[in-house]
C-alpha cells in the first residue's frame, strides 16, 4: 500500500506453491545456519513471479553482488536443427525467460560451448506433463538428451563459458521475484533484489532443483546422495 496527501493506492499479488520439501539434510546437533555477513544484489534475477528454491546455488561475491545458478532440465531431446525446446515445469523447476542466454551444461566449469538467447517462452504440455517451450535459433545448442541440463552462458555464440563459475553458497528458502529487474540506479520501473545466502550446508541431491555433473568437482560430501559446500 502507498499513501499520499490526496489519495491512496492499494495493490496486492498472489501466488501458488507446488508443495513443500526439505532440501537440507537435518543434522543432529547442527548449529544454526551460517549466513554471509551482508546479502548479495542479484545480478541475474528472474522476473515476474519466477522463483528460486531452497538449496539452489548462487555465486556470492564479497562486493555484495552475485549470480543465481539457473538450471533448466530438458523434457525432450533436442537436435541441432531444433528451434523449439521443451523444459521441465514440475513446480520446483526454474522457469526460462525471454532474453536468457542458455547453453548445454558443460562437463566442467572451464568447458566452453555454444549458447543462444531465448526469444520466446510459453507454458504448455508435452506427453501429459507441464513444460515450458522456449524458442532459440537453429543450430545454436547442438544435440542433447531428455534429462540433460541447460545453464546460463556469459553471452550468445560459440566457445562460451557458463555464467556462474564459482557456486559457493545456497539459497536458504524459496524466494519469488515479483517484478521486472531494474536496469540501473535511475530506473524506477523495476526492482533490485537482494538475497542473503547460507554457507556450510548439506543438501539432498535428489531434492535440489538440479544436479549437473560439473557440481561433482566441488562437492565436499563423501556421503552418496548428499551435496555439501
What confidence tens digit (pLDDT) does each residue in 171-197 have?
Answer: 999 999 887 666 556 655 668 889 999
What mean pLDDT is predicted for residues 19-27?
A: 82
pLDDT tens, position by position, 128-167? 999 999 999 988 899 999 999 999 999 999 999 999 999 9
Of 133, 163, 193, the last residue of a domain is 163
Distance CA 5, CA 207 (A): 50
Domain assignment present for 14: no
Q: Are strands 194-195 and 40-42 parallel, antiparallel or unpaired?
A: antiparallel
* Residue 49 near residue 162, CB atoms below 8 Å: no
Q: What is the pLDDT of residue 37?
A: 87
Number of domains, the chain: 2
Which structural domain range is residue 204 located in? 21-68+166-229
For every residue of 58-111, DSSP letters joined together read: EEE-TTSEEEE--EEEBSS-B-TT-SEEEEE-SSSSPPP-TT-EEEEPPSSTT-
Contact (CB, 8 A) for 169 and 161: no
Q: What's this model's pTM, rounded to 2 decimal places?
A: 0.87
How, if at all, do strands 175-177 and 50-52 pair? Answer: antiparallel
Residue-wise pLDDT tens digits, 162-177: 999 999 999 999 999 8
Whether residue 53 sits in one domain with residue 83: no
Amino acid at each position: 500500500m502507498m499513501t499520499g496527501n490526496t489519495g491512496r493506492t492499494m495493490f496486492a499479488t498472489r501466488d501458488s506453491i507446488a508443495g513443500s520439501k526439505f532440501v537440507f539434510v537435518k543434522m543432529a546437533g547442527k548449529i544454526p545456519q551460517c549466513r554471509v555477513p551482508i546479502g548479495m544484489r542479484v545480478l541475474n534475477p528472474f522476473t515476474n513471479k519466477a522463483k528460486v528454491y531452497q538449496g539452489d546455488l548462487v555465486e556470492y561475491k564479497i562486493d555484495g553482488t552475485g549470480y543465481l545458478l539457473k538450471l533448466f532440465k530438458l523434457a525432450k531431446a533436442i537436435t541441432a536443427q531444433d528451434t523449439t525446446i521443451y523444459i521441465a515445469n514440475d513446480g520446483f523447476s526454474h522457469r526460462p525467460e525471454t532474453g536468457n542466454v542458455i547453453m548445454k551444461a558443460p562437463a566442467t566449469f572451464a568447458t566452453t560451448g555454444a549458447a543462444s538467447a531465448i526469444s520466446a517462452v510459453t507454458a504448455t504440455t508435452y506427453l501429459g506433463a507441464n513444460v515450458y517451450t522456449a524458442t532459440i535459433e537453429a543450430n545454436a545448442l547442438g544435440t542433447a538428451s531428455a534429462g540433460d541440463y541447460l545453464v546460463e552462458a556469459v553471452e550468445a555464440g560459440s566457445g562460451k563459458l557458463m555464467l556462474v563459475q564459482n557456486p559457493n553458497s545456497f539459497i536458504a528458502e524459496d524466494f519469488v521475484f515479483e517484478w521486472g529487474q531494474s536496469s540501473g540506479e535511475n530506473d524506477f520501473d523495476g526492482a533490485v533484489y537482494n538475497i542473503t545466502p547460507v554457507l556450510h550446508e548439506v543438501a539432498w541431491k535428489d531434492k535440489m532443483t538440479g544436479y549437473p555433473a560439473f557440481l561433482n568437482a566441488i562437492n565436499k560430501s563423501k556421503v552418496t546422495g548428499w551435496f555439501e559446500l
